[in-house]
């Protein structure tokens, strides 16, 4: 006999997936609405807690950082964060003896408005902070996934993997790029795989990074060096290395010292002797956008809605911007006494995020195609373009605004305002 968990259908919300966007959405809604909404987070990976995110780090842009501050989380997250104070962008071949810097962004630039445009944050403490804060606010956690979700007239009924049933006004599919809920709802997906792999590692080095990030554009793909907080007296950086899929086995399949030598060729010697602290781990790189961000009492969030190339480090920020927009739409419905899972609420969410998401996805895809190219005319044209941006503060301001999610009509949480 199936068990059941009672929920106030028109005031309940289920989040499928305990990743960073899903947890942020749940926490924002619970903080803003308290007892007016019941929230359940379902994820079969909950037993592993934050440990399943170990070894990863993200560039959290200024807008999402303001949101974490408004939610009372930034003070907890800050010890695991490092401000990116400036960034240098180069374009060269791997064997070139000199890597000329074509473009720089700095905190002190007029274009940066004196604010760090991003902080590097390690994933494990970030997720642990979100889990702890969510439990403190009374969010319910279920360590099993959703097997089926059937929309009805005034609610959606979810059957968990263990046979129990939950009822809610809305289910949020934050269950990853291969979202079962998205597929079950018949929402189409436009995407492809890149002939590249993403390689992630944490590097310790002799000298301080001083908050500087580097993006080396190489013919096989970008190699990013991103500053992390010191740990146990060791200076550290995260690397995000894009490489041709066909070459990964040869580059990483040897002895650890051989792998480190390949990293050193790309990393350079400016920070002194390097050691591997964590990784490397490899991940396939894909592009994909859902044909709609909503279904019948279903909203897509994070990777379930969009997957982009990591060239600009904006994947998580897009997911967090979606969480802010959806939290705003649902909260407005609750305060008006209307159904938070109604079509007009989900249309408002989709309108708020669709254009920016498609624009960022197209931009990152174009950047990767433009810079993962060793044709001389293309190199000359793109280096000319980088130099032009370097000399025009208005263009710099535009690109920093895009990277920091500070342009346009942003959701209140991204502006640091309460819901």
- The pLDDT score that the predictor gives to residue 3 is 46
Whether residue 350 has pLDDT greater than 80: yes
Residue 327 lies in a domain: yes
Looking at residues 312-337, what average pLDDT do you find?
95
Do 344 and 306 belong together in one domain? yes
SS (H, E, C) the chain: CCCECCCCHHHEEEEECCCHHHHHHHHHHHHHHHHHCEEEEECCCHHHHHHHHCCCEEEEEHHHHHHHHHCCCHHHHHHHEEECCEEEEEECCCCCCCCCEEEEEECCCHHHCCCCCEEEEEHHHHHHHHHHHHHHCCCEEECCCEEEEEECCCCEEEEECCCCEEEECEEEECCCCCCHHHHHCCCCEEEEEEEEEEEEEEEEECCCCCCEEEEEEECCEEEEEEEEEEECCEEEEEEEEEEEHHHHHHHHCCCHHHHHHHHHHHHCCCCCCEEEEEEEEEEEEEEEEECCCEECCEEECHHHCEECCHHHCCHHHHHHHHHHHHHHHHHHHHHHCCCCCCHHHHHHHHHHHHHHHHHHHHHHHHHHHHHCCCCHHHHHHHHHHHHHHHHCHHHHHHHHHHHCCCCCCCCHHHHCCCC
Higher pLDDT, 127 or 406: 127
Asked which of 271, 286, 301 is the last residue of a domain, the reply is: 286
- CATH number of the CATH domain containing 280: 3.30.9.10
Residue 4 lies in a domain: no
Asked which of 242, 269, 286 is the last residue of a domain, the reply is: 286
pLDDT in tens, 146-169: 999 999 989 999 999 999 999 999
- The pLDDT score that the predictor gives to residue 6 is 39
- The pLDDT score that the predictor gives to residue 337 is 94
Do 141 and 242 belong together in one domain? no
Higher pLDDT, 373 or 134: 134
Do 386 and 323 belong together in one domain? yes
**Confidence bin at 92 (pLDDT 50/70/90):** confident
Do 159 and 277 belong together in one domain? no
- The pLDDT score that the predictor gives to residue 110 is 46
Whether residue 242 has pLDDT greater than 90: yes
Do 203 and 342 belong together in one domain? no
Do 157 and 266 belong together in one domain? no
Residue 27 lies in a domain: yes
pLDDT in tens, 44-60: 999 888 888 888 899 99
Residue 351 lies in a domain: yes
Domain hosting residue 146, numbered range: 9-79+123-191+287-415
- The pLDDT score that the predictor gives to residue 386 is 62
Residue 390 lies in a domain: yes
Do 174 and 200 belong together in one domain? no
Residue 209 lies in a domain: yes
pLDDT in tens, 376-404: 666 667 666 665 555 555 545 555 555 55
- CATH number of the CATH domain containing 145: 3.50.50.60
- Which has the minimum average pLDDT: 70-74, 103-107, 312-316, 320-324? 103-107
Residue 336 lies in a domain: yes
Do 294 and 282 belong together in one domain? no
Q: What is the pTM of this model?
A: 0.91
Whether residue 225 has pLDDT greater than 60: yes
Do 71 and 94 belong together in one domain? no
Do 304 and 187 belong together in one domain? yes
Looking at residues 61-83, what average pLDDT do you find?
95
Asked which of 251, 286, 321 is the last residue of a domain, the reply is: 286
- The pLDDT score that the predictor gives to residue 283 is 92
Residue 339 lies in a domain: yes
Task: Count the domains in the chain.
Answer: 2
- The pLDDT score that the predictor gives to residue 51 is 80
Do 244 and 350 belong together in one domain? no
Do 174 and 297 belong together in one domain? yes
């Amino acid at each position: 006999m199936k068990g059941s968990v009672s929920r106030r259908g028109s005031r309940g919300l289920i989040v499928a997936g305990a990743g960073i966007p899903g947890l942020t959405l749940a926490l924002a809604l619970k903080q803003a609405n308290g007892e007016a909404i019941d929230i359940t987070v379902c994820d079969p990976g909950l037993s592993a807690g934050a440990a399943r995110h170990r070894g990863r780090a993200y560039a959290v842009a200024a807008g999402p950082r303001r949101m974490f501050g408004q939610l009372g989380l930034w003070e907890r997250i800050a010890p695991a964060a490092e401000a990116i104070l400036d960034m240098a962008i180069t374009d060269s071949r791997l064997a070139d003896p000199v890597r000329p810097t074509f473009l720089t962004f700095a905190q002190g630039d007029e274009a940066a408005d004196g604010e760090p445009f991003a902080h590097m944050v390690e994933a494990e403490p970030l997720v642990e902070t979100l889990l702890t804060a969510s439990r403190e606010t009374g969010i319910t956690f279920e360590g099993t996934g959703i097997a089926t979700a059937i929309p009805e007239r005034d609610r959606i009924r979810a059957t968990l993997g263990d046979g129990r049933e939950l009822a809610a006004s809305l289910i949020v599919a934050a269950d990853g790029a291969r979202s079962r809920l998205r597929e079950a709802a018949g929402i189409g997906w436009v995407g492809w795989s890149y002939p590249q792999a993403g390689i992630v590692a944490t590097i310790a080095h002799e000298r301080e990074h001083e908050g500087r990030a580097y993006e080396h554009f190489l013919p096989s793909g970008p190699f990013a060096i991103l500053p992390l907080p010191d740990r146990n007296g060791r200076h550290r950086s995260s690397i995000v290395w894009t490489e041709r899929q066909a070459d990964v086995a040869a580059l990483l399949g040897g002895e650890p010292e051989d792998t480190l030598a390949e990293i050193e060729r790309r990393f350079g010697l400016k920070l002194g002797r390097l050691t591997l602290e964590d990784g490397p781990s490899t991940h396939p790189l894909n592009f994909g956008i859902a044909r709609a961000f909503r279904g019948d009492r279903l909203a897509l969030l994070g990777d379930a809605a969009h997957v982009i190339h990591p060239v600009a480090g904006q994947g998580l920020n897009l997911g967090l911007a979606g969480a802010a927009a959806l939290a705003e739409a649902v909260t407005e419905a609750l305060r008006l006494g209307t159904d938070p899972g109604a079509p007009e609420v989900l249309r408002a969410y989709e309108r708020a995020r669709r254009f920016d998401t498609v624009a960022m996805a197209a931009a990152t895809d174009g950047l990767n195609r433009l810079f993962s190219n060793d044709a001389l005319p293309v190199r000359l044209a793109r280096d000319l373009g980088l130099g032009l941006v370097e000399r025009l503060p208005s263009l710099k301001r535009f690109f920093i605004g895009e990277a920091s999610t500070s342009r346009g009509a942003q959701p209140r949480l991204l502006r640091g305002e309460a819901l």
